[in-house]
Amino acid sequence: MPENKSEILQGTLDLMVLQTLQAMGPLHGYGIARRIEQVSKEALQVNQGTIYLCLVRLVQKKWIKAEWGISENNRKARFYSISKAGQKQLAAETENWQRVAGTIARLLQWEGPK
Amino acid sequence: MLSAFHRIIARIRAVFQRAGSDRDLEFELEAHVQLLTEDHILRGTLRGEAERLARIELGGVYQLQESHREIRALPFLDTLRQDLRYTFRTLKQNPGFTAFAILIIGAGVGASSTIFSVVNTLLLRPLPLHDSRQLVWIYNLADDGVSD
């Protein structure tokens, strides 16, 4: 198993999608997948289709909204945008994530009693 | 959790809007492949190869549709709906059997409820009196100890 490619936890993908929509505004599924790939510098391997599984869950939770629109190549596409509830969730999740990451970082830095 | 509540409502509704949602997803996935193909072409891949790569990157469409359905709706309700439809279709194809089955069920229910209503009035319901334990039965005994 390759060591440098992390498996994505489900909750993490939710968080990444919410943050992407918050930062970039309305996007279609392909745009979201593309953006996440770019930002992660392809260190995170997402099967691009799984983004739609994440999106349907987020829509059902009313954290994002879906609307039909026209894509940049003049095709009908579904655009997703973050909702008020989604922004609140994003803020809460961000704080939680940073707290966990901080704890882990401190734990890993600690080299034992000298 | 409000979001969990919204989600369960959406999933129940999705059970009854299956065809529309399946079509929407199919449309979305196709659009995804087109966009990805065009990106590959811009990066210098030939059209046929670009589309092949795009489909690989997206992943298996049938598995996606199946997982999408599982996440979107409630699999057990979906199965139940299918079973019920199958049942009614079979019954419609065989009206004689259906009529007989309905008749038997009707007779069974009728007989059971008749017996129950008798048992209920005679044995189960208390007497409609204030203190039914004080109720006594008075009768005469003849000299030989046998009642009238």
ipTM score assigned to the predicted complex: 0.78
Subunit contact A57:B67, Cβ cutoff 8 A: no
For B34, the closest of A49, A60, A75 (CB atoms) is: A75
Cβ–Cβ gap B6/A30 under 8 Å: no
This prediction's pTM: 0.71
Q: Cα A44 vs. chain centroid, distance in angstroms?
A: 11
Cα B12 → chain centroid: 10
pLDDT digits (tens, 9 = 90+) for A38-84: 887 766 666 788 899 999 999 999 999 999 988 877 888 899 999 99
C-alpha distances in angstroms, A52 versus A28, A33, A109, B108, B130?
10, 9, 38, 51, 69
Shortest alpha-carbon distance between residue A61 and chain B (Å): 5
Is any Cβ of chain A less than 8 angstroms from the Cβ of B85? no
Computed over every residue of chain A, the mean pLDDT equals 86
pLDDT of residue A79: 95
Q: Each residue's pLDDT tens digit in chain B (148 positions)? A: 788 999 999 998 888 888 888 899 999 999 999 999 999 999 998 989 999 999 998 888 899 999 999 999 998 888 898 899 999 999 999 999 999 999 999 999 999 999 999 999 888 887 778 887 888 888 888 777 666 5
pLDDT in tens, B97-138: 999 999 999 999 999 999 999 999 888 887 778 887 888 888
| Interface touch B31/A63, C-beta < 8 Å | no
Flag if B10 and A59 touch (Cβ within 8 Å). yes
Q: Judge: B32–A30 Cβ closer than 8 Å, yes or no.
A: yes
Range 30-69 of B in CB contact (< 8 A) with A: 31-32, 34-36, 38-39, 57-61, 64, 67-68
CA distance B108 to chain A (A): 45
Q: What is the pLDDT of residue B125?
A: 82
Note the helical H segments in chain B: 2-15, 18-42, 47-58, 61-72, 75-93, 95-119
User: To the nearest whole angstrom, how far is the Cα of A105 from the nearest Cα of chain B?
Assistant: 30
Residues in chain A: 114
**Identity at B143, one-letter amino acid code:** D
pLDDT of residue A3: 45
